[in-house]
Amino acid sequence: MTTALTIAGSDSGGGAGIQVDLKTFQAMGVHGASVITSLTAQNTREVRDIFDLPTSFIKSQFEAVHEDFDIKAAKTGMLSNKEIIKCVTENVGSYLLVVDPVMVAASGGKLIKDDAIETLKELLLPRATVATPNIPEAEVLSGISIKGVDDAKEASKIISNYGCSVVVKGGHSGKGKVIDVLYHLGKIHQFEAERIGEGVHGSGCAFASAIAAGLAKGEDVVTAVGNAKSFITRAIATAYAPGKGPRVANPLGKQIASSKEHQVIKELRKVVSDIENMDFYKVAPEVGSNIVYAKEGAKTPEDVAAVEGRIIKVKNRVVAVGDIAFGGSKHVATIVLAAMHHDKEFRSAMNIKYKKSTLDVCEKLGFGISSFSRDDEPQEKSTMEWGTLHAIEKHGSVPDLIYDKGSVGKEPMIRILGKKPGEVFEKLRRILDEA
């Protein structure tokens, strides 16, 4: 595994510094080594104390990692005084270097002495491959005020005169999209993303580390910055609040999301197998059936897992045609998405054949039942979305069942709703036992 190096301070709160750098390296598929420059006593709300390590010990860390690892790229973070900056400049290897000119913590604590800024400009920036200042840092390094994207472009060009490519990050720009400006080899590149909430602790550290990881894997600067932009947008979108202060960036957001998606598919696959082994053919619709399970916070059918080709009746049994996949259903997925607008816990549903006797059984079982009529459907409305919302509004909450009696060319249908596939299956089992 390729190795990348973080040269930064330790955050005792775990939300920034080397802690988030190493998480980012791991998430990006590179091994992370570290040279710690300072120890901080901080949490998500404040920096209480800083202890700068002796330069002799910083040098020893460099020697140790250089002797054992083939480092391809590194990033710097908190370098609090000019002696540390000189030590780092003298000891970094010939590898690619991303300099995150950390000046102030997200909580407001000052992380660099004033006289060290000139040393950073004179010694470290000329050694850098890429520098990643935020807007306040770019104002200090460029000497100009940044009020918009055009100012950020100008600042990136000014800072590049120290000898490096420059990304001016747009997170501090206020409202609207977050636009990062990269000046590289005489050209401007822009990277945009939707703004997600307020500032997130550790996002600058993770962004610079993601660039370093990309460079370590052989990506060019523009590609590495673009991939890092996508990475940090996801890390911010999945940020969480472990303490009483701001949320912290979540470099493992993609892996956690993938794990949750796997669990959704695993649960749904088991229930589909159970359905194939019961007498479901008795209530299977002519057009086929499907059972779906949405991810938490699902917004589109692509966030909803289902049987790709439906569950169809074959004589006295049913067979699931196709595997379980996200985006496998539009019809039943729309029902779940509409139900989640009212109650986000209702993430599963299934359609079965409409029969008056089935409704009688459901009433006997005490199920909550509601309905809609296709004749009342407004023009330019999605039937399943409108019908589901209308039935929920009539019932006052998400019912166990929603049915309609069909129309010309549309088969009558009952939909069973539940919080999970296992709950939908249990309702289905009770209906078949009583039928």
The residue among 101, 108, 90, 96 whose CA lies nearest residue 142 is 101
Q: Which amino acid is at 401?
A: L
Give the model's pLDDT for residue 185.
Answer: 97
Q: Any idea which residue has 């540390």 for tokens? A: 84
Pairing of strands 96-99, 348-353: unpaired
pLDDT in tens, the chain (435 residues): 899 999 999 999 999 999 999 999 999 999 999 999 999 999 998 999 999 999 999 999 999 999 999 999 999 999 999 999 999 999 999 999 999 998 876 666 678 888 899 999 999 999 999 999 999 999 999 999 999 999 999 999 999 999 999 999 987 776 778 999 999 999 999 999 888 766 789 999 999 999 999 999 999 999 999 999 999 998 998 888 898 888 899 999 877 777 888 889 989 999 999 999 999 999 999 999 999 999 999 999 999 999 988 999 998 899 999 888 899 998 899 999 999 999 999 999 999 999 999 999 999 999 999 999 988 888 777 888 999 999 999 999 999 999 999 888 889 999 999 999 999 999 999 999 987
Give the model's pLDDT for residue 14.
Answer: 95
Give the model's pLDDT for residue 167.
Answer: 98
Neighbours of 268 (CB within 10 A): 25
The CA distance from 83 to 60, in Å, is 15
Q: Any idea which residue has 């004589």 for tokens? A: 315
The CA distance from 424 to 311, in Å, is 15
The CA distance from 56 to 206, in Å, is 27
Tokens read off for 220: 């060019």
Question: Domains (ranges, CATH) in the chain?
Answer: 3-251 (3.40.1190.20), 257-434 (3.40.225.10)
Continuous segment of H or E residues that includes residue 433: helix 421-434
The CA distance from 207 to 227, in Å, is 10
Give the model's pLDDT for residue 106.
Answer: 65
Q: Which amino acid is at 216?
A: A
Give the model's pLDDT for residue 105.
Answer: 67
Pairing of strands 71-76, 96-99: parallel
Q: Which residues have C-beta within 8 Å of that of residue 196, sequence separation ≥ 6?
A: 233, 236, 237
Give the model's pLDDT for residue 358.
Answer: 95
Q: Which residues have C-beta within 8 Å of that of residue 213, sequence separation ≥ 6?
A: 4, 24, 25, 28, 29, 30, 73, 228
